[in-house]
Amino acid sequence: MAYRNLEIGHRGAVRTITVNRPDKLNALNRETLNELTLAFAQAAQDDAVRVVVLAGAGDKAFVAGADISQMNGYTAIEAQSFSRTGQRLMSSIERLGKPVLARIQGFALGGGMELAMCCHLRIASEKARFGQPEINLGLIPGFGGTQRLLRLAGRSAALELCLSGATITAQRAYELGIVNRVVAPEALDETVNALADQLAAAAPLAAASILDCVLQGGETSLDQGLEFETQAFALMFATEDMKEGTSAFLEKRKATFKGS
């Protein structure tokens, strides 16, 4: 289908979803949130898609935040609805069951940083900048920023970034564990594409199970998480992919995984 605020691209088993509002630094308004929700639902249901890359149009921003011009007139009830819409989207991305990579080339602020943090892996240009500046507007993060930042970077970093509203460099974000890799701007696409291709060639059922173990099991006690892992490990032995992977290893050939 056609989207007003997104561009959808395909490269083999990799689907790219690009927020396309460069004149607004790709800011998230309600329409864009709704379109992203639909685009990720379609990616989840399409068996031909094994990896999703999330990007922002233009050179200046991944997503510079929520659309303040729209938020400015909200009542408290409307703001609650907007927050829940954003949080549902972020949770659906996190629980997609397929690896999602954020390609971050510029500003990832406010809702943009929250959107990046719900992705499973984040690759940033050296020129990228991160921050939760909501406090400067008399607000707090509303799309999961306080919670995912806490889990990614720890309490001290979450409090510092949210209370100060400061913008940090990609290198500092890497040091805090917010991004996985920082690369030169000219190497960003090559790095993202190589990682996406690597993940697309991996066993999709195993990838989905790893995501479950880390994201769901990681929210439980250690003993519960270990039991979660044991059950998921056992289930892999009922898959054709496991038979293919182990056979390919023994036969010294490259495995071809079909997701069955």
Residue 2's pLDDT band (cuts 50, 70, 90): confident
**Does residue 1 carry a pLDDT above 80?**
no
Q: Do 176 and 120 form a contact (C-beta atoms < 8 A)? A: no
Q: Do domains 6-200 and 204-250 have the same CATH topology?
A: no
pLDDT of residue 57: 97
**Does residue 70 carry a pLDDT above 90?**
no
Q: Do 127 and 159 form a contact (C-beta atoms < 8 A)? A: no
**Does residue 67 carry a pLDDT above 90?**
no
Q: How far is it, in rounded angstroms, from Cα 217 to Cα 246?
A: 26
Residue indicated by tokens 């991160």: 130
pLDDT, tens digit (0-9, with 9 covering 90-100), for 110-132: 999 999 999 999 999 999 999 99
Amino acid of residue 28: L
CATH number listed for the domain at residues 204-250: 1.10.12
pLDDT of residue 255: 92
**Does residue 133 carry a pLDDT above 90?**
yes
Q: Do 52 and 101 form a contact (C-beta atoms < 8 A)? A: yes
**What percent of the chain lies above the pLDDT cut of 70?**
100
- How many CA atoms, within 13 angstroms, populate the side-chain half-sphere of residue 40? 27
pLDDT of residue 39: 98
Q: Do 99 and 207 form a contact (C-beta atoms < 8 A)? A: yes
User: Which residues participate in catalysis according to the annotation?
Assistant: 114, 134
pLDDT of residue 121: 98
Domain boundaries, the chain: 6-200, 204-250
**Does residue 217 carry a pLDDT above 90?**
no
Amino acid of residue 6: L
Q: How far is it, in rounded angstroms, from Cα 33 to Cα 19?
A: 10
For the segment 173-193, the average pLDDT, to the nearest whole number, is 98
Residue/partner pairs of 194-202 with CB below 8 Å, 24 or more apart: 195/101, 195/121, 195/123, 196/11, 196/14, 196/51, 196/53, 196/101, 197/12, 197/14, 199/50, 199/51, 199/99, 199/101, 200/12, 200/13, 200/14, 200/50, 200/51, 201/257, 202/50, 202/257
**What percent of the chain lies above the pLDDT cut of 90?**
94
Q: Would you identify the CATH topology of the domain 6-200?
A: 2-enoyl-CoA Hydratase; Chain A, domain 1 (3.90.226)
Q: How far is it, in rounded angstroms, from Cα 213 to Cα 202?
A: 17
For the segment 53-63, the average pLDDT, to the nearest whole number, is 97
For the segment 190-215, the average pLDDT, to the nearest whole number, is 96
For the segment 122-147, the average pLDDT, to the nearest whole number, is 97
pLDDT of residue 118: 97
Tokens of 232: 């998921």
Per DSSP, 18 falls in state E
